[in-house]
Structure 1
Amino acid sequence: MAPLALLLLCQVTLYTTVTSKKACGRPPVPDGVDVSSLKSMYDVGEEVTLACEQGYTPSTTAPRKLACTPAQEWTASDLACTPRTCPIPRPLQALVPGRTQVPFKTVLNYTCDEGYVMNGANESSCLADGTWSHPPPLCKAVNCALPKAPRDGRFVFDKTHTATTTMYGQGWTYECNPPKAPSFERGECKADGTATEPPVCRDVSCSIPEGIPNGFITFAVMRTHGYKETVRYACNDHYVLDGQAEIQCSNTGNWSTKPVCRAPCSVNIKRGRISYNARKLWIADLKPNRVLHGEHVVFYCKNKVEKCGYPVASTCNDGTLTLPECFEEPGKVEYTLRPKTLPSEITMCGPLPSGPSSSAAPA
Structure 2
Amino acid sequence: MAPTLALLLLCQVALYTTVTSKKVCGQPPVTDGIDESTLKRVYEVGEEVTLTCERGYLPSTAASQRITCTATGEWTRSNLACSPKMCPIPRPLQPLAKGRTEAPFKSVLNFTCDDGYVMQGANESTCLHDGRWSNPPPLCKAVNCPLPKPPRDGRIVHDKPVSGSTTMYGQGWTYECNPPKAPSHERGSCMADGSATEPPVCRDVSCSIPTNIPNGFITFAVMRQHGYKEKVKYACNEHYILDGEAEIQCRNTGNWSSKPVCRAPCTVGIKRGRIFYNARKLWIADLKPNRVLHGEHVAFYCLNRAERCGYPVASTCNDGTLPIPECFEEPGKVEYTLRAKNLPSEITMCAASPPAGPTSPASPASPPRSA
Q: TM-score range by the shorter chain?
A: 0.7 to 0.9
1:224 pairs with 2:225: yes
Tell me the residue number matched to 1:75. 76
TM-aligned CA deviation for residue 294 of structure 1: 0.8
Q: Work out whether residues 273 and 331 of structure 2, in 8 Å CA contact, stay in contact via their aligned partners in 1.
A: yes
Secondary structure of the 1:181 match is strand
Give the TM-score of the pair, scaled to structure 1.
Answer: 0.86
Stretch moving more, 259-268 or 34-43: 34-43
- Alignment size in residue pairs: 345
Conserved 8 A contact 2:276-2:367: no
Equivalent position SS for 1:310: strand
For 2:285 and 2:99, how far apart are their aligned partners in 1?
62
Paired residue for 1:283?
A: 284
| % identical aligned pairs | 77
For the residue of structure 2 that corresponds to 1:340, the secondary structure is: helix
Code of the aligned partner of 1:176? C
> 2:346: which partner in 1?
345
| 1:140-289 equivalent positions in 2, closer than 5 A | 140-289=141-290
Listed as ranges, the matches of 1:55-94 within 5 Å are: 55-94=56-95
Q: Is the 8 A contact 1:280 1:357 kept in 2?
A: no
1:16-31 mapped onto 2 (5 Å cutoff):
23-31=24-32
Q: Which amino acid aligns with 2:210?
A: P
**Residues in 1 aligned to 2:202 and 2:22: alpha-carbon distance in whole angstroms:** 100
SS of the residue 2:70 aligns to = coil
What whole-Å deviation, never above 9, does each CA across 1:16-39 have from its counterpart, x for those lacking one?
999876543321111101223323
TM-score w.r.t. the length of structure 2 is 0.84
Contact 1:144 1:166 in 2 (8 A): yes
Whole-Å Cα distance in 2 between the matches of residues 149 and 252 of structure 1?
19
Query: Which has the larger displacement, 188-197 or 88-97?
Result: 88-97
Q: Which amino acid in the other structure matches residue 206 of structure 1?
A: C
> Could you tell me how far apart the structure 1 residues matched to 2:141 and 2:154 are?
32
Residue 8 (structure 1) aligns with:
none
Q: Once the two structures are superposed, what CA deviation does each residue of 1:314-354 show, in whole Å capped at 9, x if it has no partner?
A: 11011111111221111111112212221222333425844
CA distance in 2, matches of 1:90, 1:281: 65
1:248 CA drift (Å): 0.9
Aligned twin of 1:4: none
CA–CA distance in 1 between the matches of 2:145 and 2:238? 54
In the alignment, is the contact (CA less than 8 A) between 1:86 and 1:126 conserved in 2?
Answer: yes
Alignment of 1:82-121 (within 5 A): 82-97=83-98, 99-121=100-122
The ranges of structure 1 where at least 4 consecutive aligned residues each deviate by more than 6 angstroms after the TM superposition are 15-21
Give the superposed CA RMSD: 2.6
| Counterparts of 2:24 and 2:267, CA distance in 1 | 100
Q: Distance in 2 between matches of 1:143 and 1:94?
A: 28
The one-letter code matched in structure 1 to 2:206 is S
Paired residues of 2:314 and 2:365 also in contact (CA < 8 A)? no
Given the superposition, is the C-alpha separation of residues 345 and 61 from structure 1 closer, same or farther in structure 2, using an over 3 Å criterion? farther
Any stretches of 5+ residues in structure 2 without a counterpart?
1-15, 354-363
1:40 equivalent in structure 2: 41
The answer to which of 122-131 and 175-184 deviates more is: 122-131
Shift of 1:312: 1.8
